[in-house]
A and B are shown apart, each in its own frame.
Chain A
Amino acid sequence: MSTTASETSTATSPVAASRRTATGTPFTRALGLATIAGMVWLAAFGLLFSPQDVIQGESVRIMYVHVPTVYLAYLAFTVTAVCSAGFLWKRTRSLTWDRFAGAPAEIGVFFMAIALVTGSLWGSISWGTYWVWDARLTTSAFLFITYLGYLAVRRLGGSHEARARRSGILGVLAVLEVPLVHFSVEWWRPLHQTESVKTGKIEDLMLVSLFVGIVTFTLFYVWLLLHRQRVMHMEDAMDDRGLDAALAERQREGAGA
């Protein structure tokens, strides 16, 4: 009895230890807790406390999740561009920059996809159509596709250096692409959708709800970025070491057969 108990404890303890120290640190744990609290607040404010909008009615509630997600995606893409430049700049060249460019691109693509869906749902209520060829919408859609391509380039294979160089150049080029797309679409369709935050009379509680959303999603973004970057760090380390292990495995298999 006692031997089995000690056996199981020794068998599980390294696993448990690795769980505690996987990608979390005290800092990210605190961030995670704050995020959870913020999300609950956001749902409560957005769905219950905040009033209807004078013009938009209930549909304004979508804003409290839509605007923070869009903001998060744009923040993420900005970080990707900055960190791409950080890698390409010869004096600061390191794979850490590359991973801090790759992680937010993935986060941005994910949340841009969600934002495009929630945005078109919002549009279907307030404009009566899912999509308009407005510069902001079109640029967002193109950003989504562009970074989808960016992620595909990261998966092309080759050395980590080659991946970092290719994707770094792409990450910087995206900065060139975005204003060109934005302005050309603006010229094409000069009709501008009025921004609800600027024109509509906005109640204090609505502002609070929006603010809670932005803060919460910023915290969540930082949490995700750190964890995702650490996962990528381990993946790269696995790649480096895995190559030797895989070769050894092959040789053993060859010897066995």
Chain B
Amino acid sequence: MVAMAYAGKILGSYALTFAGVIAYTVYTVRKGRELARRVSPEDRPWT
């Protein structure tokens, strides 16, 4: 695995994909929390 051919490109792909997943998740959750603080509960019908 360490001596994997093209390790840079392969691991880079995994890193990019997972970093993207994490970044998008964090962004969405944060934005949700920030807005939830300012929006009244009746505007959040799912709670």
Contact = CB atoms under 8 A, between A and B. Distances in A.
A/B: CB atoms within 8 Å of each other? yes
B24 A110 contact: yes
A interface, how many residues as a size bin?
Answer: 35 or more
B interface, how many residues as a size bin?
Answer: 20 to 34
11 contacts: A19-B33, A23-B33, A58-B6, A58-B10, A65-B14, A65-B17, A114-B20, A224-B25, A227-B28, A237-B39, A241-B43
A220 interface: yes
Q: Is the interface of B mostly helix, strand, loop or mixed?
A: helix
Contact of A62 (B1, B13, B37): B13
A46 interface: yes
Interface string A113-128: 0100110011011000
B14 A18 contact: no
B2 to A, nearest CB: 11
A5 interface: no
Nearest to B8: A121
B36 A234 contact: yes
Interface in B13-42: 13-14, 16-18, 20-21, 24-25, 28-29, 31-33, 35-39, 41
**CB-CB nearest 3 A-B residue pairs:** A23-B32, A237-B43, A22-B36
Nearest to B13: A118
A13 B43 CA distance: 20
A47 B25 CA distance: 23
Contacts of B44: 21, 230, 233-234
Contacts of B43: 233-234, 237, 241
A114 to B, nearest CB: 5
Interface string A95-137: 0000000000001001100100110011011000000000000
A25 B44 CA distance: 11
A66 interface: yes
A234 B32 contact: yes
